[in-house]
Amino acid sequence: MRPGTKAPHLIVSYFIVSALILFVDSRGFLQPVHSLVQKLAIPVESKLFRAREATLGKLGNLGVDKDKKIQEFEQRNASLSSLVAKIGSLQTENEHMRNLLGSDLPVSWRFTPVGIISLQVDSLYVLTSESVFGKPSIWVSTPEPGKTNYGIFLGKVEKVLGQRAEILLPTSSVSKIKVNIKDKESGQKQAMGIVEGRGGRMVLGQVLTGETLKSGDLVVTAGDADIPPDV
């Protein structure tokens, strides 16, 4: 047989075998073979389906776990940011308190923790259970986030009604405090004057003409019978 005649013979043989199989199948002779193949195929398909579901389930869980971890990290970050802000506030308050404690306070002065009710222009209203009428004090409250005074007030008890006391602040129009003006860098005394309350603010006056004031100079108490120096 020549090589060129092999291909047509194969094609003819393929069609003859196919026709024979179709004829046998149409007569039902291949039904046992179909049943056997189905019995073998169903378990395989079931295993493949379960494997696919398990793989997709794990991938889905990975996505859920990732979102959960991101949420946890965001919550931790917010908590740490809040903690850093509180620490910064406490450090600044500590610095203010250190400066106050460094002053040579008279025996009649003291640090008094109280509950602040309200602050109205020149008066601070507080709750206290102690007998504090007429005593000059440094009043300290818990610092609040975003506040710039850090809960530190200086004033004199003006009125007491039960557990409620009114503290007169240095911004009051009746307040006059002798002060020294010091250079911010060297701490050397540059001038003297009197700070007067003007209803919600304080004004430096009675400074001698020959004395020089600069922006950034420190104004501290000169010290007298009621007020300690360098406050």
Place 164 in a pLDDT band, splitting at 50, 70 and 90: confident
pLDDT, tens digit, 9 for 90 and up, residues 62-81:
666 677 778 888 888 888 88
Structural domain harbouring 23: 3-53
Burial 52-74 (b: 16+ CB within 10 A, else e): eeeeeeeeeeeeeeeeeeeeeee
User: How far apart are alpha carbons 37 and 67 in whole angstroms?
Assistant: 45
| Domain count across the chain | 3
The answer to whether residue 187 is domain-embedded is yes
Low-confidence winner among 117-131, 147-161, 174-188, 199-213 (lowest mean pLDDT): 147-161
Q: Is 198 helix (H, G, I), strand (E, B) or coil?
A: coil
Same structural domain for residues 159 and 189? no
Which residues are bridge partners to 77 per DSSP?
Answer: none
Looking at residue 191, its pLDDT comes to 80
Domain boundary among 125, 148, 168: 168
pLDDT at 62: 61
Pair 151, 188 in one domain: no
CA 221 – CA 108 distance, rounded (Å): 17
**Which pLDDT score, from 0 to 100, does residue 165 have?**
79
DSSP 124-191: EEEE--S--TT-EEEEE----TT-SSTTEEEEEEEEEETTEEEEEPTTSTT-EEEEEEE-TTT--EEE
- pLDDT for 82: 82
Sorting pLDDT into bands at 50, 70 and 90, what band is 108? low
Average pLDDT of span 140-144: 49
Given this model, what pLDDT does residue 175 score? 80
Give the Cα separation of 203 and 198 in Å (integer): 7
pLDDT band at 142 (very low <50, low <70, confident <90, very high): very low
Residues 119, 162: one domain? yes
Q: Is position 95 within any domain? A: no
Please state the pTM of the whole predicted model.
0.41
- Give the pLDDT confidence score for residue 181 in this predicted structure: 83
Whether 179 shows a pLDDT value over 80: the answer reads yes
The answer to whether residue 90 is domain-embedded is no
- Residue 201: inside a domain: yes
The Cα angle at residue 229 between residues 224 and 231, in degrees rounded to 5 = 125
Task: Flag whether 185 is in a domain.
Answer: yes
